[in-house]
């Protein structure tokens, strides 16, 4: 979806967003895992995400990752991107509500980006629910925006660029 085809309602929602919460696997990654003989795992991520995330930090938007997966690779990548990360999360919605309360942000000022059924509860509660293009078909109906890019292949950067363009457009 091109920024010029975004509705005014979506633009307004983006402009009031104070926090973007991302799932990790299937959003920052292509949802695949490389498993080595010794049990270590590796994933593929897009390098373009870092510059996109920085643009949003420069606009004062807070971001973080909440992941069900407990894996050092999640924490390592988030540390590299300077993103707060909670991994090994059993109840994403309870965690999201706790974070929103601590930050003093209402749920309607939060965007959540997911890709699978364990993201539904969060998608249903936030102001701007987003899914990556290759999200599981059971969650598509809960999204207000679906990326054109696949998870792990620039979807996070697409979201960052969308927010950046709308914020810049609003300042003209």
pLDDT tens-digit profile of 22-59?
A: 999 999 999 999 999 998 888 998 889 999 999 999 99
Residue 141: closest CA among 105, 160, 117: 117
What per-residue confidence (pLDDT) applies to 4?
55
CA distance 63 to 133: 20
3-class DSSP state for residue 167?
Answer: helix
pLDDT tops 50 at residue 145: yes
pLDDT tens-digit profile of 153-170?
A: 999 999 999 999 999 999
The mean pLDDT value for 105-121 works out to 98
Confidence of residue 72 (pLDDT cuts 50, 70, 90): confident
CA distance 13 to 159: 13
pLDDT tops 90 at residue 102: yes
What pTM, to 2 d.p., does this model score? 0.95
Average pLDDT of the chain is 94
pLDDT tops 80 at residue 3: no
The mean pLDDT value for 95-106 works out to 98
CA distance 150 to 156: 9
What per-residue confidence (pLDDT) applies to 69?
87
CA distance 79 to 75: 6
Domains of the chain, first to last: 3-170 (3.40.50.1000)
Provide CB contacts within 8 A for 73, sequence distance 6+: 41, 42, 43
């Amino acid at each position: 979806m091109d920024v010029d085809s975004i509705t005014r309602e979506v633009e307004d929602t983006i402009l009031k967003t104070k926090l973007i919460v991302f799932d990790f696997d299937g959003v920052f990654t292509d949802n695949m895992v490389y498993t080595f003989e010794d049990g270590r795992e590796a994933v593929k991520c897009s390098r373009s995400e870092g510059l996109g995330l920085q643009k949003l930090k420069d606009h004062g938007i807070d971001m973080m990752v909440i992941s069900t997966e407990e894996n050092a690779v999640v924490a390592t990548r988030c540390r590299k991107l300077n993103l707060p990360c909670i991994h090994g999360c059993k109840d994403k919605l309870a965690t999201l509500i706790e974070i929103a309360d601590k930050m003093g942000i209402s749920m309607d000022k939060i965007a959540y980006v997911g890709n699978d059924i364990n993201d539904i509860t969060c998608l249903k509660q936030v102001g701007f629910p987003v899914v990556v293009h290759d999200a599981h078909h059971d969650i598509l109906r809960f999204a207000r925006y679906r990326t054109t890019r696949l998870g792990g292949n620039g979807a996070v950067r697409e979201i960052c660029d969308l927010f950046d363009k709308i914020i810049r457009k609003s300042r003209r």
